Chain A
């Protein structure tokens, strides 16, 4: 069973507009959430994270929102740039240290 789900395999947006990537999780024991970005032929790289005690964390153009009651998190990128085109993975972690990832969403930002 997939404990972390990214239901949109792909997303296409215009340069300068907002990109919104979504992620759902099932385990209420998760207490730390992360987003990663992955380019082809490279390992995933960390983008931004949020603790379960917060509902928002912002870092430059990237903002992560957490809705614990809905077990849902989202990543907002604004403004989107062509260099943001990549696969984005959300991940959830519990206090056991286990780190589980979703299936990924391929973002394409068109110039």
Chain B
């Protein structure tokens, strides 16, 4: 398996634009997580799914953020509209409970 795959690796967008981050988890994993890395909060959990169903989205900062997992092989995190304070590195991770989670390389988002 190629591991968790995220795209794009880098995204630069203008304030107010819609941004979509993509993630392909490891095949067979039943949990998928979206994290945002910040200096203050470290790896901040935004939302996680179990068997494609969102379980806890309490970490999503605002209604501008949304996430979907239409099937076991794909998930998206969308920000609409984007703001400069959304600039961060976003990570996707998957696991087969209760083992360790595997992370993608991350998407560095810059909103100007």
Q: Is the CB of A98 within 8 A of B98?
A: no
Minimal beta-carbon separation of B17 from chain A (angstroms) = 24
- Is A81 an interface residue, CB under 8 A from the partner? no
- CB within 8 Å: A-B pair count: 63
State whether B100 touches A34 (Cβ < 8 A). Answer: yes
Alpha-carbon distance A101/B98, docked complex (angstroms): 16
Asked, given contacts A2-B41, A104-B42, whether A99 binds B104 with beta carbons under 8 Å apart, the answer is no
Cα-based distance from A54 to B77 in the complex (angstroms):
36
Most A CB atoms within 10 A — which of B31, B42, B56, B98? B42
Cross-chain contact of B43 among A49, A96, A101 (Cβ < 8 A): A101
CA of A36 to CA of B42 in the docked complex: distance in angstroms?
12
Q: B43 contacts A89, CB within 8 Å? A: yes
Size category of the binding interface on chain B: 20 to 34
- Asked if B104 contacts A43 (CB within 8 A), the reply is yes
Interface residues of A, count at CB 8 A: 25
Chain B residues within an 8 Å CB radius of A42: 105-106
Interchain residue pairs with CB less than 8 A apart (30): A34-B100, A41-B105, A42-B105, A42-B106, A43-B91, A43-B104, A43-B106, A44-B43, A44-B91, A46-B100, A46-B101, A46-B102, A96-B55, A97-B31, A97-B55, A97-B95, A97-B97, A98-B45, A98-B48, A98-B56, A99-B33, A99-B48, A99-B101, A100-B45, A101-B44, A101-B45, A102-B42, A102-B43, A103-B41, A104-B42
B interface residues (Cβ-Cβ under 8 A, vs A): 4, 31, 33, 35, 40-45, 48, 50, 55-56, 91, 93, 95, 97-98, 100-106
Known interface pairs A95-B98, A96-B56; 11 further A-B residue pairs with C-beta atoms within 8 A, sorted by A's residue number: A2-B41, A34-B100, A34-B101, A43-B106, A44-B91, A91-B43, A97-B31, A97-B48, A97-B97, A100-B45, A102-B42
Residues of A within 8 A of B (CB): 2, 6, 32, 34, 36, 41-46, 49, 89, 91, 93, 95-104
